[in-house]
Structure 1
């Protein structure tokens, strides 16, 4: 039976990559520098459906994988199998499978954290980087989980995610509610990210989800068919794979002490979203100091889900940059 996902995406392909089976979607002619689109949480390759269509129309080779722990890709048991070494290694393995030396990597949300690490960990495989909402962040002076706990409290969602099984069960209890809660327009997400009136943690998405009335249909971002693609998939997989990425913040920090602190000689584009409550444009300030070849662009009125909220602007910015920096 055709699923909502299959009706809206190119045919799924599979690759044995870095010890897992990776599902990916591919469009365009296999020529030139490919673009690899890397999704965040709680998302899928499906989040890039608009970009895949635009790349295909422009004659650009583009690939969007379901990353480790998500969708139709393997979900290993061990938490440490989701550290940065594995996440970047998966993308390098995908290039190996495709017989490609280098690609332009585009990353949103967690996918952005991963792609910004690629020039530091696998510089010879990177032709260019595009950060969508997610800036290049310098290594913190202290364990990031400890820092978030001190600043935002125990209920801040990334700190909450550290507790085994708790968030996993809460998000999976009603996947339709969870996806509709997260996939909303900027005002709703900003409200959910704020500290509650009675005080408490900022970004306490677990508490906000519990309190949110599922009957509230205002600010919904997705069509019923688009929502169904996410809901059907996460009902089948649960959320543990994606949450395990967060459970490696401390491990990644510990293991990154000797990595380079600059990105030199790699064309980079930073696309910011004006109304992203989680990854604000202010977080991208100072990137020029540590990236030698950087362009920046701001998309007005977009919240966190920029490639789905403002697909035409995202497509225009990426394809224009590709045409200038990697002409066909």
Structure 2
């Protein structure tokens, strides 16, 4: 079994990034989501290395060992895509396959849309590509779901990260469980005066795919950077809408794959509609894989099935 190695790499975006990596061969970037880090790809790093690929999972801007600037304005989609493309440069490659889960998926789709010549293929887990809407998204979400909708709640200064930082072990335990296939939850609505963690149920027992040691690793990885950087990604939703006007309705042209869990609250509703219509804006969609009984944490909940789908997609690229 390939070993996972760690080092710091200076992205040409100017960000010094911690990466976990394994194997050699064509480059596959693995971009984590919220609230995660490189560790969410622990199963894929070794499987992709064994299949003949150089798998690299960075801690993205603001996260874990990478950390990032304090200014919330430094977390736009252009910064995030710049970090990913700059990491391809720093690793000495011209192109890569970019795989993203949760928040990492919009970064992967964005890289494929903005810089298709650098992307051999793109895979989105849990979050399909969604074409740019007709109005700023936070206002739309506020009108549809109210101030308590979690993405609207995250716009508040200081409050969300204070909630997450209060007891980080409880945060990871409750958040990871609440969006899992075992919990089958809905997208959180935070009550007035409450916090995001409050609406995530405490599990009676952990799912088989998640151990106390896994939670301890997440706590250790977040020891220095905390949650302000990760929450800052949400604070740029409207700014991202403004910055992407030039790509309004632009297609994502590289070969693509989508993987989702059929019990994932994030992949339901409008996201499910977007997934069903992916080929409208992703013309080289090679497949859509729905994992039965799987929740939001696809590559952690169902590593064998995700690995199989990824390797089949990769082997089909020229």
TM-score (norm 1): 0.88
1:146-200 deviations in Å (ceiling 9; x for gaps): 0111111111111111001000101100101100011113242515x36xxxxxx
**Map of 1:72 onto structure 2:** 65
Within 2, Cα distance between the matches of 1:15 and 1:218? Answer: 35
- Structure 1 position 120, deviation (Å): 2.2
1:15 and 1:23 in contact (8 A); partners too: yes
Q: Which runs of 5+ in 2 are unaligned?
A: none
- Structure 1 position 220, deviation (Å): 7.0
Task: Confirm whether residue 300 of structure 1 aligns to residue 288 of structure 2.
Answer: no
Q: How many residues align?
A: 310
1:90-144 deviations in Å (ceiling 9; x for gaps): 0111111111111000000000011111122222211110011110101011110
Change (3 A) 1:13 1:257: same
Residue of structure 2 aligned with 1:23, choices 9, 18, 23? 18
- Structure 1 position 278, deviation (Å): 1.4
Q: CA RMSD in A?
A: 2.2
Question: SS at 1:180's partner residue?
Answer: helix
Task: Confirm whether residue 243 of structure 1 aligns to residue 234 of structure 2.
Answer: no
**Map of 1:254 onto structure 2:** 242
Residue of structure 2 aligned with 1:157, choices 146, 150, 157? 150
**Map of 1:228 onto structure 2:** 216
**Map of 1:197 onto structure 2:** none
- Structure 1 position 9, deviation (Å): 7.1
**Map of 1:5 onto structure 2:** none
TM-score (norm 2): 0.91
**Map of 1:290 onto structure 2:** 281
**Map of 2:130 onto structure 1:** 137
1:175 and 1:235 in contact (8 A); partners too: no
Question: SS at 1:188's partner residue?
Answer: coil
Within 2, Cα distance between the matches of 1:157 and 1:313? Answer: 30
Within 2, Cα distance between the matches of 1:238 and 1:80? Answer: 18
**Map of 2:174 onto structure 1:** 181
Change (3 A) 1:140 1:212: closer
1:1-328 equivalent positions in 2, closer than 5 A = 10-17=4-11, 18-29=13-24, 31=25, 33-184=26-177, 185-188=180-183, 190=185, 193=187, 201=189, 207=195, 209-210=197-198, 214=202, 216-217=204-205, 219=207, 221-259=209-247, 261-263=249-251, 265-280=253-268, 281-294=272-285, 295-326=287-318
- Structure 1 position 321, deviation (Å): 1.1
1:264-311 deviations in Å (ceiling 9; x for gaps): 541111112111011234441211111111021111111000000000
1:157 and 1:203 in contact (8 A); partners too: no
Question: SS at 2:52's partner residue?
Answer: coil
- Structure 1 position 208, deviation (Å): 5.7
